[in-house]
Amino acid sequence: MKLLVDMNLSPRWIGVLADGGIEAAHWSSLGANNAPDAEIMAYANTNNYVVLTHDLDFGTILAATQGKKPSVVQIRAEDVSPNVIGVQVIAALRQMAEELEDGALLTVDVKRTRLRLLPLQWRGWHEVYIANRRATLEEDVKYFSAESKADREKWVVREFLRILGVQFNDEEIAPAKNDPPDVIFRGAPCVRIVVASSDFS
């Protein structure tokens, strides 16, 4: 079994998985950073990868198409850093290796794992779709709440660094103790820039 790590997960997953004896490649080394989910799924299917992702849309694609491959492993956690949930993910991958080789949708969170064999049946299709939509809405509400302000600010800096092509670890981006600045990156303050447009005509 070999894993294709999606763009929404850190490249650090590659080393953690390798230490666990699992071959893996990060999508950033294989395709365009802005590639649609369908393209990543097609590549994984053609090249016999299992997709590892934090994006619930991959499970929705499997449900909608009733596809048999590729297998998808969804990480469901607020913090998807490998040092936080890596042990659970590797344990689940080892335990469900045979099912993932045959075709499965595996969901892993901090407390449990859940496996569905592919293709998803009609009842399973609706269950996965509804569960994924509900989870997405719950995550959106929490993400835009006051308690997730620091996470949103870190995301802006993270995406800005990726666009610039700067190599970094998530631990190097930290919320500032005083506001402003919003975020500290390698000891340097980072303030979010908001551009507002107006109609001057």
Per-residue pLDDT reduced to its tens digit, 71-115:
999 998 888 889 889 999 999 999 999 999 999 999 998 888 999
The average pLDDT across 183-200 equals 61
Closest CA to 100 of 38, 162, 51, 28: 51
User: pTM for this one?
Assistant: 0.68
